[in-house]
Amino acid sequence: MQFNRAKFKDVILYTCHKSERSKLGAVKLNKVLYFLDMIRYAWTGGPVTGATYKKRKHGPTTDSLLPVLRELTAERKLEIHDVNFFGFTKKEYVPLVAPDISRLSKEEIVLLDEVIDFVCSDNTAKTISEYSHQAPWEMVEFGDEIPYHSAFLLYPSEVSLEALEWAEAEAKTVADQSAQSNQVVLTDGSVFRSRLLEARQ
């Protein structure tokens, strides 16, 4: 996957702008990015930002986040504060500029809104970390990259090893086709939306 740094910045600023400060910290910001990219990949064969995610103790994280946050603060687009949150130190993100969403498609913004709502409004940092410990996270060793084709395992279904191997082969085919064409076909996101509703209950 090719990492789109500009869209990555846009998603971060948009997330910080849309979320209540008290409900967004470092853990949740990582999870917004992860679920956005993985779900978009499962729907269309391509992620939004193309960031690389790795298995960490508190769920998937991306090594791209900290350097990009430093860039955004240096550009005076974002302030980051350490605040006391019930006896713990928590990162608080204060956007200084309105987010630029011109690089994001309407479908990407709709999905991002849903992911922000699910991660930030319906979960604590602890519950979203636990929720992110699903099959894609479990299938790799600590510190290893979580492959994008594992996004299909986020959906509620019984997935066999053969199906996973098929998904990996299909992912390569989609990637090869995407390299030759900019056209992307959207698929139905109702399954993931039902998964979100189940998680909220």
User: What is the tens place of the pLDDT at every residue in 74-114?
Assistant: 999 999 999 987 778 889 999 999 999 999 999 999 999 99
Q: Which residues pair with 60 in a beta bridge?
A: 55
Distance separating alpha carbons of residues 167 and 68, to the nearest angstrom: 31
Residue with tokens 């991306």: 62
User: What is the tens place of the pLDDT at every residue in 46-73?
Assistant: 999 999 999 998 889 999 999 999 999 9
**89 Ramachandran zone, left/alpha/beta (phi>0; psi -120 to 50):** beta
Domain boundaries, position 59: 5-200
- Specify the pLDDT at position 154: 82
Q: How many domains does the chain fold into?
A: 1
**Mean pLDDT rounded to a whole number for the chain:** 86
Q: Are strands 59-62 and 53-56 parallel, antiparallel or unpaired?
A: antiparallel
The percentage of the chain sitting over the pLDDT mark of 70, rounded to a whole number, equals 83
Distance separating alpha carbons of residues 12 and 58, to the nearest angstrom: 19
